[in-house]
Structure formats: structure tokens, C-alpha cells
Structure 1
């Protein structure tokens, strides 16, 4: 029996008093967040998703009982008592789940074997760094002093967009910001690379750049201190079930609120009449109509494919004409190598380690942008990622999307050969650094930036879209604060997601709340939100059926 993709949404006529209808393109975190808040605010919504799973890049896949969790490395908002946590609880993201917190953010190991551990506790971190390099005492104490100052701060502005903040909300924000204004200004104005270059010890010069696993380049000190302080407060933990588990919990919340998600529904274009979005047309020609359309998917696809580039302006033109392909504006894409291991992993090993590689190792990692590889012992993060008696390791590195896209389009055989080369490098490297893994590697599964683009449509395979603190940052903020997440000249339409709110899952989720608040203000509808009351304990079966990434694993 054929699916009814339209299912009542083909009607143009709307009876007086009917609930406002909202179509959402994309069942990523932003799209489902939009659906949840719109449902809570009394609207009727439907989400259209081209894939078979929710979450977008916040996803997982499976092979032979292993679950390869793709995205979350840490998640802001896992501790109670702050606005970020309130947002996640409104979305049901943590219903029935435990949270895993680590004492360290990351470990960095140089090619000569020297290492530094970035503990979240500033006192422990300071002692450790001073043991490594007493000559750098002044810089070490300055960094740890700033980290201590960030720890008591509670600034998570993810509940209300600035244009809609009440006087009380503005005052509360100022009370948080003003006492620390100089600290915020100084750490935002100081580039990490500038700070790191001052260290006398060559390991520290390189290691500080890689606190976030690999060097994000052009980041100031502020985000490093902010996230390490959050981790110290157990507010940057790992939720049970991981990436897809987060997406499934929000999906369950959305469906429980009366929403509907249609999978395998590929949007071809947004229907516009008299400069007003009135619905969408799917690839098969089916048309669905609504009072409002929200695109929570790739920004360029939305503006130039779904809308034929008809609704742009100075902000959009600069973002997508000038900055989209400018080096350093988008977060780099990544190559992922998931490794299935026979037996358990050493519980005393660091859960996350960045290995800085010698120049001779570069050819072993095709398309690499930085000569390093991140090794995360994912079985330490959450239960259920591997069959009983087995474990999972996730290895990643920043990589050039164009290299993989060109290879896949022009020479599929060589594309597969390069993936096998990565698998062979990872096997040999893991055994060289963790000798106890010799003879225990079960399988290796490789995802390239071309894979990310193929499954999610994200431009250049970038998982996090615009890079914070880049030239795009102020322009993206303008889309929220001035444009109210709309495109110039087009009514009945909004955008949500990381192409509006920048990278990070909490930011993606917040754009769903923001866009619904703007829509409620336009419609004269009261915005409503309340925390989920779900209490059923989380278990891996909640992930549902998972697809395989590729027909042939690399063994």
C-alpha cells in the first residue's frame, strides 16, 4: 500500500478557528525543537525528513551489533539549574537517562610521547601544567585563574531571542555580564593561538590549541574557558544513549505532543504565492500546504534550491556569496573511523586523546587538514554501544570535503581504496599506542565528509555550519536579532538550525524555541512551554532499527 505523503495537508481551505498549520523541513534537533514548541503553543505541525532517522547529524548507525554514535562529544546543559538544562528538559531530551561526566576535557599526546591532560578542575590542572613546564608558570596561572572565574557564571541565553526579552530578562542578563565584562571582553579578544604561542614548552604551545580535540583555528580563549568551566560544573556531560538517543527522545516528546514526522519525504521546493510561503512540493510532485513554513535544514539548499535565490538581502548575500566558501568560515568536515573491539577497554585510560602525529604519518590519513588524530573510547561514554563483551573506539580527524567529494564522483574504486587506507592506518596506529588491542580489532567502519553530505545535505559536509567567532558570527546573529529568522520580502516563512544559530546542539535546539516565539508574536498566540514528565528508564532498544552506513565494512 502506497504511503499517503499528503495525509490531509493538501487542503487549501481552512475553517475559521482552525489551529495554525506549520510545516517544518528537516527532523534534525532544530526541526524537532520547532515542532515541539509549536505543538505546545497550540499549533498543528508536520515535519518532513528525507532520511529514515531523526537527528540530522546527531545520529548513529549500526553493524553487527555495534552502534556507531556520531556527533556528541560533550553537551552543554546536562546539569540542573540553568536555562540550557531547562530547554533540554522541555524537549524531553534527558527523560529517564543518566549523564556521564569526565574529570578531564581531553588529553594531548605529542609525537615524542609527552602528554598533557586538560583537567576540568583548575587546581588540579594548574598543578599538572606546572609539573610539565615550571618555566611557563605565569601563563599557566593566568589561564587557570580565568577558568576559576568562569566556573560560577551562569550565562546560557537559550530561552528567549534578544528582541523578545522582557525587561526582567534583560536586567538578569546584565547582572551576569556586567561584573565579568572585562573578563569576557579580554578572553574574547585574545586568540588562543596568540596565547598558546607564548608558552616556552613546545608541547604546551601545541596542546592548548587542541583542547577541543583538534585545533578549531581562529578561536579566542573564551569558548575554551566557558566549556571547561561547564564541564567542571557537570554541565557538559554525555547523555545516556548518545547522539541518536538524544534525537529519539526529542522525537518521542514531539510525537507525544501530537506532532507528525514523515520520513523519506524529500522537499523539491517551497511553494510561494504573492511573496508568501504557502507550502512545499515534494520530489514526487505531492504538495502540502500550511500557514507557515520553517526550513530547519541546510541553509544554501533552502535559499537557492527550494526558493530559487529569489529572497536574499545584504546579510544573506554576504553569508552565502562571500563567506560560504571563504577558508575558515565553516567548521571543517571530519573523517570518522569506528573500530569494533573484542573485549573491554582499559577503564583507566583517558576517554579522549588527541595524538599529534609526525610529518611522516600524514599520507596515512587522506585529505587530512591537521596532522593529528583523535581517539575516543566510546564504550566509556554510555552503555549499549557494543555487544556484550565488546567495545567501540571512535577515531576522527578534520578533513577536506572537496578531496572526498571529487574522489567519490570521479573514481569510486579509488574512493573505497582511500577508505581502506584509513582503516589500515587506524588499525596499526591503535595497536602501536594501545598494544593490548593487538589481535582484538573486529571491524572498522569509515565515514567521510562526502558521507555526511550525502545523508544530511550539509554544505561541504560541515556538521556545525558557520564557525563561531568568524566573519559569519555577527551576520548570523543579525538573522535572529534583526531579521527575526526570516528572509527579506518573504512572508509565512522562517529558518531555524545551525545555519541561523551557529554550531552546537544547544544552539540548534534554541533556534526551534526562538523561531516559535517569533511566530507566536506574529500570530498573536501565547507561547507556551513546559518540561517533559517522561520517567521511563532509557534503554538501547529505544534507538529503534538502525541502518548500516555502507554495504561492505573494512575488516
Structure 2
């Protein structure tokens, strides 16, 4: 399915066809998007990807017929008639796919078994919350009233970066925003913590913080209302095939446009001559040349590794040197435990539940940052994730990257023991919540933040890079709006991805679109984009081959067979 060969790019001579050559570092969603938009605009692009599958964090792996979907929980842009959906159509991401929508965003259950369900329908949500705590009627009605207002607003500014917008386009955006300005301003200025602390009911105080499964800690009300409104409008669903399915569809679109995807190709250095990026050097020494280089890889590795820290300014140094290690700035890393089991669940069981844990329970989860764990019935999200008669559960919790990194580098035996502890906790916890489930469990696979770092190269194992609404957001926005996704003193080079566009798949995809718009501006071409016309129904066969690992050394716990050789897994058996 993936193309891993192509013309020789070690030749520095100009192209006979006059098409500019563009090298893209990283085959995640943003890198593939950059490649697709480059192909659409008369460029020859080549993506160098370290691993053997596309998508970066947007991936999955397989064992014993189970597919463990790692990334997507909801996808902005699954509904028609908005900018986000237009981008997915241009990338072919949803070609031939059905989308599954849920009537609730998440359920939160405390240690005593009390639950709150965050329905996407504001009327239903309001009735439910008032039943739980009539005394909190003012806060409940305020939140639901604002949710109704957000449902009527469709603003998805993902098509064009601000520096390239005309005065007319900026005025049009302003005109659209003005009627809702007060709504946006008020909810962007109100921290969720401050809002939640006003509830009299202790369950609601904790539950509102965990609408997004676990507590991101610095978010205001705005993203909660925005995403719940998207879900109500069927614009935040789960696409058939999940994370790897999305990545494979984008890869298929890229290949169809003539792009070249080269796997098992790690870029060690970006080649620079006379202040201009001219190509890349791969591990092993092979050099490839291009007119433009785009890095969609980890930001710190790109700037201070591939470019040796030679092209920075105070903003970049503050962002990548100070903010990177400042508490609360990066989106937390996660521990994932996938459970494969016989049978299914009660149809009335929530597809996603955050369980609040006691201090004692939380202390049993290695490296946990919060006393909670998220349980998602993943086989409810899309067909094909489990063999017939079986189901998949995904359990996650925010965890400390340094805890796992230190263990893995200094005490590998304890590292594996801690992964076994996760397995044991998950087994016992699920059996307590779903009596008898322990006898039905076939396997449990665990991935840690150290796994994420090894597989994706993401700094500190973060899956979403900088937190929105943190001190880093304005600095990251400067890289787009002032720096035009370039670095000072270096021409012919651009950055894309979550480290400049912040986290989230639609932001990653739009950053690939943005970067090609900037490149078109530089070379004097009018940017063009067309929608994919592929209409064949999607099926699980399109996930392609899942590469397998060699057998694990006997002194270690049995590794699972998984989609990418870099993923650590520990079996429950």
C-alpha cells in the first residue's frame, strides 16, 4: 500500500519538468497533509518517515485479531458544511467511511458509584444535572444556555493562516465573530476550575473538570462548550477505521497524487548552504536535495538537533527551552492499557467513562498524575476492532513521562514490573466494575509515555504538544502569524505540525495546508486545493499489513505483536 521508492533525489540538478522539489520530514497527519497540498500545487514532494506506518500518534496496532486504536476519541470535521470537513475531504481522510456519533460526550463516576452523564443535547443535559443537584440550578442553566448558543455557531478557521488573509477576508471573519464576541470572550476568560468550584454538589465539582476524560487543568469553559456543540451537531464523530484508518486514507490520497513516501528513513540533519535549507541527511549518511524542506517532526528535535540550534530567537528559545520543561505547559503523556476479551457489554453501558479513584487506588497506578482512570469500550466506536464475539476496552490515565523514562533507562526490570502492575490494576478494577469480566479477558497490552517517545519522537512523550490556553500558546502562534512557520535566518525551510499549530488532528492537518500556502506565496503560485473523489466503501483491509515483532527474550515479559516495532507492550498472560 505504501510507496517506499522513487526517483533519485541525490541529484542536485534542477528538475527537467520545472516542478519544485519539496522534502517533508515526518509522515504524520501534518506531514502527509503538506505533501498532498504540495502535489496539488505542482510540486514534487517526498516524505521521509522513521517508522513503517503513516500517521505518527494517529495509529493502531494488532494482536490476536484485535486492533488497538490509539489516538482518535472524537474528530472535529466529521459533519458537512464547514472548514474542518473541507480539509478532510481534500485529504481523502473520510473517503467511503461511515461516522459514528454518540449522544453523550463522557460519563464521570465517583468512588461511591454516583455518576453524571454529559449529554451533548443541552436540554437533556440540563434536566439530568438538575436531577443530580437542584441547588446548583443557576450554574447548570448558565452552562446549558451557553451550550445552546455555541450549537448555533459554526466557525472553523482552518483554511488559511491569518498573515495571508486579505483585508476583506479579515473583515468578513470579524463580522462573523462580532455577534458572538461576548460569548467567546466570557467563556475564554472563565477557567473551568473556577467555574466548577462554585458547584455545591461535590460530584459536579469534580465531574465538570473531567468532561474531556481527564482534567487538562488549565482550560477555560470555551473548548468544552465548543466541542460538545460540535458533537451535538454531528461534527465530532468517530470515523470508520479509527486512527490508522484515517492515516491510511490520507496516505492513499497522497500516493494517488504522485507523492513519494519513504519509510524506515530517519532524518539526522537538515542540510544548509548560504543560509538556505537545501536537503536532508539520513541516518547512514545518504543525502537528498530539494528546493524547500518542511519539518513536521518534533519541534525541539528539529530546531536543536537537525539544525543544531543555529536558527532561533528569544521567542523560540523561550518556547522550546523554558516552556518545554515547565509544569502544566505540555499536554500530559498517557499510559494506555488495551484489553481484549470474550463477549460484549450491556448496550446501555457508556462508551466512555471516567472513574474517580480513591487516594489508595490512585497510588496503585504507576506514575499517575490524577486519581482517575478512563475506560472506553472501543469496539463500540467502529466495526472491525475485535474478532467476532469479542470486544476491546481502552483504559488510559495521565502519567509522568520522567517517571517512565527514568525507569526504562536506569532500571529496565522495574520498568517491566510497573507495566505488570498496570495490567494487574486494570484487571482487578474492571472485574470490580463489571463482575465476572476477569474470566473473559484474553490479553492486556500496555503502552507507556516512554513508548510514545520512542515511537513518535515527541518531546516528553506528549501526544498533543503544547496545551491550548497555556503560556506557550501565544509563543506558538507567533511562529505562524509572525514567523510564517519559518525560522530566523533560514530560508527555504518551514515547520508544520502540533509544535507550531498546537494539538488536535484538525490543527495538524490545517498546519500542512498553511505551510503549503506560505510556500506557494514564496514561489509566486496561486494556492489550489481540490477534494478527493474516491467513493469506494472503506473496509478493514485498507488498514494494510501489521508488521510483527521477533520473539521477546525470555527474561522479559512477553511482548505483544503490534503494528510498529517501536511500541512497547506487556501481555497479561
Change (3 A) 1:134 1:91: same
Tell me the secondary structure at the aligned position of residue 316 of structure 1: helix
- The corresponding residue for 2:572 is 554
> Does 2:493 correspond to 1:493?
yes
- The corresponding residue for 1:281 is 281
Tell me the secondary structure at the aligned position of residue 325 of structure 2: coil
Whether the 8 Å CA contact 1:5–1:286 is kept in 2: the answer is: no
- The corresponding residue for 2:530 is 530
Cα distance in 2 for partners of 1:371, 1:201 equals: 19
- The corresponding residue for 2:149 is 149
Tell me the secondary structure at the aligned position of residue 435 of structure 1: coil
- The corresponding residue for 1:442 is 442
Whether the 8 Å CA contact 2:445–2:569 is kept in 1: the answer is: no
Tell me the secondary structure at the aligned position of residue 216 of structure 1: coil
Whether the 8 Å CA contact 2:6–2:260 is kept in 1: the answer is: no
> Does 2:225 correspond to 1:218?
no
Cα distance in 1 for partners of 2:231, 2:175 equals: 23
1:391-402 aligned at under 5 Å gives the runs 391-402=391-402
How many residue pairs are counted as aligned between the two chains?
Answer: 553
- The corresponding residue for 1:87 is 87
Cα distance in 2 for partners of 1:168, 1:340 equals: 54
Can you list the C-alpha shifts for 1:432-463, whole angstroms capped at 9, x where unaligned? 11115241011000000000000000000000
Cα distance in 2 for partners of 1:473, 1:450 equals: 25
- The corresponding residue for 2:406 is 406
Task: Provide TM-score, normalisation by structure 2.
Answer: 0.95
Whether the 8 Å CA contact 1:214–1:372 is kept in 2: the answer is: yes
Deviation at 1:526, TM superposition (A): 1.9
- The corresponding residue for 1:21 is 21
Whether the 8 Å CA contact 1:106–1:352 is kept in 2: the answer is: yes
1:296-445 aligned at under 5 Å gives the runs 296-445=296-445
Whether the 8 Å CA contact 1:109–1:354 is kept in 2: the answer is: yes
- The corresponding residue for 1:57 is 57
Cα distance in 2 for partners of 1:79, 1:4 equals: 33
Whether the 8 Å CA contact 2:420–2:570 is kept in 1: the answer is: no
Deviation at 1:129, TM superposition (A): 0.2
Tell me the secondary structure at the aligned position of residue 525 of structure 1: coil
Q: Which runs of 5+ in 2 are unaligned?
A: 548-561
- The corresponding residue for 2:558 is none
- The corresponding residue for 1:31 is 31
Change (3 A) 1:4 1:344: closer
Can you list the C-alpha shifts for 1:284-337, whole angstroms capped at 9, x where unaligned? 100000000000010000000000000001220110121110001100000000
Cα distance in 2 for partners of 1:521, 1:149 equals: 37
Whether the 8 Å CA contact 2:4–2:261 is kept in 1: the answer is: no
Cα distance in 2 for partners of 1:15, 1:323 equals: 42
Tell me the secondary structure at the aligned position of residue 248 of structure 1: helix
- The corresponding residue for 1:202 is 202
- The corresponding residue for 1:463 is 463
Tell me the secondary structure at the aligned position of residue 439 of structure 2: coil
Tell me the secondary structure at the aligned position of residue 309 of structure 2: coil
Structure 1 stretch 504-513 or stretch 357-366: which is displaced more?
357-366
Cα distance in 1 for partners of 2:133, 2:275 equals: 63
Q: Which runs of 5+ in 1 are unaligned?
A: none
Whether the 8 Å CA contact 2:59–2:69 is kept in 1: the answer is: yes
Change (3 A) 1:401 1:39: same
1:171-186 aligned at under 5 Å gives the runs 171-186=171-186
1:31-180 aligned at under 5 Å gives the runs 31-180=31-180
Change (3 A) 1:357 1:552: closer
Deviation at 1:371, TM superposition (A): 0.4
**What RMSD over aligned residues (CA atoms) do the two structures have, in Å?**
1.2
Structure 1 stretch 470-479 or stretch 390-399: which is displaced more?
470-479
